[in-house]
Structure formats: C-alpha cells, structure tokens
C-alpha cells in the first residue's frame, strides 16, 4: 500500500509540473506505513480479531473506522500543536490532508480485515482457490480426522433446535484454535460433525494430527463449568483417524468447493463410528500409527483388528490415551 501511494503521489506531482523523485516519495511513505502496519495490524490480528470474529464484516469495519478516527485525530492534533496556524486547522485537520490520510489508513485496515476474513472462510488452503492449484485433480497423501459429538441426537431433543444450534456454534468456535494451531484444514461441517485434513508430512510432523485432538479434548475439559452452567451438559467429541492417497480437486463454477475422493475418507468416517462400540473417544488406523511412530505425548493402546463396511481387508485400530496433565 505504501508503494502504491508513493507511485500515485509521484505521478500526480509530475503531471502538475512539480519536481518529484520516486525514492523520496517511498522514503516518506515506507517507514510510517511499516510501523503503523505492524502496530495496527498486530493490534487487530492478536487482540481484536477474536472479539470481532463473530460480527458481520461491515460492523467490524465500522468499529475499526471509529477507532482509527480517534487515532488519526490525535496524530493530526499533535502535528498541529507543534506549529499551529489558522490555516493548519482548516487544511490539515478539517480538509484534504486529514481526509486523505484517514481514507488511506481506513483502506489499509479494511483490506487487512477483508483478507483475514477470507482466510477464515477458506482456511490455510485459500490461496489455492486463487492460484488454481486444484483446478485439475491431483493425487495426494493426506490424513483425515472425523470429529462427531457423542449422543448428539438425545442432546438435540433435550435442548431444542435453537439451543442445540447455539451449542454447536459455540463448540465449533472453541475447537477452531486447536485445529488452526495444528495447521489443519477444515474440510466440512455436516450437522454436528466436522472433518479436518492435513497433507501427510504436515500432519505427521510433530504428530500434529494427534496433538490437535488432545488439545480439543483438553480445551473442552477446561470449559466444562461453562457448558454445565449454560446447557446443563458436558459435550464430548469422538474422533476417527486414517491416512492414505486421495484425489483432490475443485468442483463447481459458482461457490467452488474442494473435495477429496478415495477410500481414505470413507474409512476415516467408519473408524469414527466404531468409537462407541469400543468405549473410547478416538480411534486411529494401524497405517497411520505406523507413520506416526512412538507417541511423544500420552499412551497408544492397541484395540485390535476389525472389519469395515465396504472394505475387503480388516483394519487394525489403536487409541490414544492421555494422562491428566497432557489433556489439560
């Protein structure tokens, strides 16, 4: 933005017959923009983003516009205080200089907020929609985690549709950060189920896929008093993990969506459905356990081999058990 503004100012001055050097315009813009960008962008991303995330975009921009108005007025007032004249009040604070300065920074912050919202909408893989990386189907090795809330039908009947929807919305908000911190990509929301995916190397690295679930388990445990007070219950998720080759590509011309095709997706969903049968909150396929190696947190316990619907060969299942300190 600083470079664009500098080029625009340089061209305007030349068109109107004034002397101008592009390097001088860049030197005027870059330092201020870098400092303000680090401060303003950091303030938004690390402090205001989570608070404003649930607001509509235009409401959040309106709040930012008010906050920015105060900041720009203070800065312009400080400049005027250093050498006040009658003309300064008119031209600097109430006229073109102030309006252009305020509009410039509002555009910068509005663009930043829009990019953050688009990243929230499309996740870490959002850039692939713009680059066309998955315009043609690609073969990939991926890890899938299918999460489902236990006893969801009885909970929905107990709470009613509206309260149940509020519960799901709050649950999905709570588990978002553990997914993002593990560099997972949210694939789909289907009712009370959420599916998460990692490219194989990323998911295996630092055992991120398993850590993601353990962090979700720990966060919901820490939030137990809140859910008991508001809904009268403690939500519990069960998870199924599997890894293998998939075909990845985009479908549709309007509202494009990335989809994964292959036996791995169906197998992960079937594994998750077996959690209740074995009395555990997570099940991991033997293939993924072999790729992960020895666990760096918790304990891996073998469940045994089982037959899955639509699969010729039996599959070996394991579960990750975490001690109290790890879960917290």
Q: What is the pLDDT of residues 69-121, one digit of tens each?
A: 888 778 777 766 666 554 555 555 556 777 777 888 888 888 888 888 877 76
Would you say 253 and 135 are in contact if contact means Cβ atoms under 8 Å apart? Answer: no
Average pLDDT, rounded, for the chain: 83
Tokens describing residue 326: 């790890």
The pLDDT of residue 45 is: 82
Q: What is the pLDDT of residue 118?
A: 77
Nearest-angstrom CA–CA distance, 155 and 234: 10
Could you tell me if 271 and 315 are in contact, meaning their C-beta atoms sit under 8 angstroms apart? yes
CATH number at residue 166: 3.30.70.1230
CA–CA gap between residue 278 and residue 301 (Å, rounded): 12
Are 210 and 252 members of one domain?
Answer: yes
Query: First-to-last CA distance in the chain?
Result: 43
Give pLDDT, residue 327: 36
* Last residue within a domain, chosen from 55, 88, 123: 123
Q: Which of 177, 95, 139, 166 minimizes the C-alpha distance to 261?
A: 139
Give the pTM: 0.72
Are 146 and 220 within one domain? Answer: yes
Say yes or no: 194 and 57 in one domain: no
236, HSE (Cβ side, Cα atoms, 13 Å): 11
pLDDT at 122 over 70: no
Pick the last residue of a domain from 123, 153, 177.
123
Contact 68, 98 (CB under 8 A): no
Contact 196, 184 (CB under 8 A): yes
pLDDT at residue 30 above 50? yes
Other residues' Cβ atoms within 10 Å of the Cβ of residue 129: 17
What tokens does 247 get? Answer: 């075909």
Structure token digits, residue 58: 């235009």
Which tokens is 253 given? Answer: 């011309």
In this structure, how many other beta carbons lie within 10 angstroms of the beta carbon of residue 48?
A: 16
Confidence of residue 125 (pLDDT cuts 50, 70, 90): low
Residues 155 and 293 in one domain: yes
Structural domain boundaries enclosing 151: 132-327
- Residue pair 221/250 in contact (Cβ under 8 Å)? The answer is no
Burial code (b: 16+ CB inside 10 Å, e: under 16) for 87-100 equals ebeeebbeeeebee
For residues 256-282, average pLDDT? 87
DSSP, collapsed to helix, strand or coil, labels residue 319 as strand
Number of domains within the chain: 2
106 and 149 share one domain = no
Residue 220, φ and ψ in degrees, nearest 5: -65, -35
* Pair (118, 138) in one structural domain: no
Of the three residues 78, 93, 123, the one that is the final residue of a domain is 123
Residues 110 and 87 in one domain: yes
Q: Are residues 292 and 188 in the same domain?
A: yes
pLDDT of residue 1: 82
Q: How much is the CA Rg of the chain, to the nearest whole Å? A: 26
Q: Which has more pLDDT, 311 or 57? A: 57
Same domain for 91 and 216, yes or no, is no
């Amino acid at each position: 933005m600083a470079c664009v503004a500098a080029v625009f100012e340089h061209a305007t001055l030349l068109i109107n017959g004034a002397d101008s050097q592009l390097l001088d315009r860049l030197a005027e813009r870059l330092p201020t923009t870098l400092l303000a960008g680090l401060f303003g962008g950091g303030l938004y991303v690390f402090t205001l983003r989570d608070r404003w995330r649930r607001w509509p975009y235009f409401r959040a921009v309106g709040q930012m516009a008010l906050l920015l108005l105060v900041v720009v007025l203070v800065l312009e007032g400080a400049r005027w205080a250093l050498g006040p004249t009658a003309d300064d009040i008119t031209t600097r604070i109430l006229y073109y200089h102030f309006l252009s300065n305020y509009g410039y920074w509002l555009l910068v912050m509005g663009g930043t907020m829009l990019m953050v919202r688009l990243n929230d909408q499309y996740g870490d893989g959002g850039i692939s929609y713009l680059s066309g990386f998955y315009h043609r189907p690609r073969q990939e090795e991926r890890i899938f985690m299918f999460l489902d809330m236990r006893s969801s039908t009885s909970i929905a009947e107990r709470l009613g549709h509206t309260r149940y929807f509020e519960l799901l919305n709050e649950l999905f908000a709570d588990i978002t950060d553990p997914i993002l911190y593990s560099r997972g990509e949210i694939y789909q929301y289907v009712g009370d189920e959420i599916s998460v995916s990692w490219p194989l190397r990323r998911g295996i690295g630092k055992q991120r896929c398993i850590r993601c679930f353990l962090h979700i388990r720990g966060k919901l445990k820490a939030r137990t008093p809140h859910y008991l007070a508001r809904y009268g219950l403690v939500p519990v998720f069960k998870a199924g993990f599997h890894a293998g080759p998939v075909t990845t590509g985009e479908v549709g011309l309007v509202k494009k969506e990335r989809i994964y095709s292959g036996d791995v997706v169906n197998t992960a969903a079937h594994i998750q459905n077996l959690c209740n049968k074995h009395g555990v909150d997570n099940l991991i396929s033997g293939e993924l356990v072999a790729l992960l190696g020895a666990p760096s947190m918790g304990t891996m316990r073998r469940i045994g081999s089982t037959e899955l619907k639509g699969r010729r060969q039996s599959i070996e299942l394991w579960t990750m058990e975490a001690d109290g300190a790890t879960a917290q």
